[in-house]
Structure 1
């Protein structure tokens, strides 16, 4: 049994120790530039693992978020809904260096939620008659055509929360709730990064978005000034 104290790790590298390997599948929270677990992403970069498949709405931007792993060519495949402003993401995909599985944004969120709930597949109208539906099972319900989508699970989920306690209970803010909460349920192991780490009992139970049972490891992210220092140092290397 994991005790509360044993869930808390001093930094990202320590929290990820023993969890990373080449060719694994990782879910990474975030929506646009909100709710991105940048410290844990930096820990993955420092580990040197390669051939990764990432399930994430997007890949941050050049030099931030998953963009730092695209720079080191650590990512083999993205399962996403949005390329966004990441020029390197687009370049690697168009050149064939990066595999990409596109999903409508709502479908991606539901695939992750389904995976976390133990639902292997579901049917949706979204994508019927488009490239999204090619090669997938189609079925009629009440005279309408639906496409089957499978649930998604990952070897590891990394998420970012505004606040968490040492038992792993998490609270997110605003658009950081779009993917982080369901990803926390869909990883075989979930590591959380929080801006504020408090003791159990400090968070109103009605305000908890992710119960601690879903979180195996937790860190307090580096202060904003430290993150800027890390990015500046990385660019100089």
Structure 2
């Protein structure tokens, strides 16, 4: 039952080519920078994983984190709400060159599609996107005189998340807004990999404080001083030149 992993590299080792990977974070809040960089490091050494489908709220900023993952050519498709965020130069360049696909999803719909994936709900209806290009080709139904678009669940092979505390059996808490998509993604992924700022023994997290139960978590790795995407970008950091 001990889900602690000794190194970041070992934590991301199971992720293969063509995997669908959910990555937590709302901008830099809750972004698992060290896990992402470990995945890039593995790719640079072995050539794998590649051709990934990545699900996140945005498509990365600057040249670290998800942006660095895209810059290395590891991502074939992004599913996100905000591909044009603070500094989306990497994604924009790749997209305009036809080197990456984009599935654009309204933010509330993205959250609900992920929640549906974890809850075993294959489809639901929402008024968001009705009458826009995003609704083209999707079933539409009327409820109480209003038109709704059918959206399908989102599931993933892996989720990469960042938490504040994690015990040996995988129970998690989060720091403030860093929680964002993480609990939903943990439920919607076949295997959940989490970097935690502090690993504790079972029982050290009060049961009523647990946000993500350990049943949804497969691997945790301790990262005592995690890097923050915004701070790295203010320093004009690039990965892999910057080592996590």
TM-score (norm: length of structure 1): 0.91
Q: 1:222: Cα distance to partner? A: 5.2
Once the two structures are superposed, the pairs formed by residues 1-237 of structure 1 within 5 Å of their partners are 3-4=1-2, 7-17=3-13, 19-48=14-43, 49-83=49-83, 84-85=85-86, 86-221=88-223, 223-224=225-226, 234-235=240-241
Between 1:97-106 and 1:43-52, the stretch displaced more is: 43-52
- Show structure 2 runs of 5+ residues with no match: 44-48
Mapped partners of 2:168, 2:37: distance in 1: 22
Q: CA deviation at 1:169?
A: 0.5
Q: Is the 8 A contact 1:26 1:53 kept in 2?
A: yes
TM norm structure 2: 0.89
State the shift of 1:117 in Å.
Answer: 0.6
Aligned residues: 229
User: How large is the Cα RMSD of the aligned pairs?
Assistant: 1.8
Relative contact order (C-alpha < 8 Å, sep 6+): which is higher?
2
Please list every run of 5 or more consecutive structure 1 residues that lacks an aligned counterpart in the other structure.
none
For residue 92 of structure 1, give the secondary structure of its aligned residue in structure 2: helix
Q: Which residue of 1 aligns with 2:46?
A: none
8 Å Cα contact 2:63-2:238 kept in structure 1: no
* Alpha-carbon distance between aligned partners in 1 of 2:109 and 2:57, rounded to the nearest angstrom: 11
**1: distance between equivalents of 2:90 and 2:7?**
28
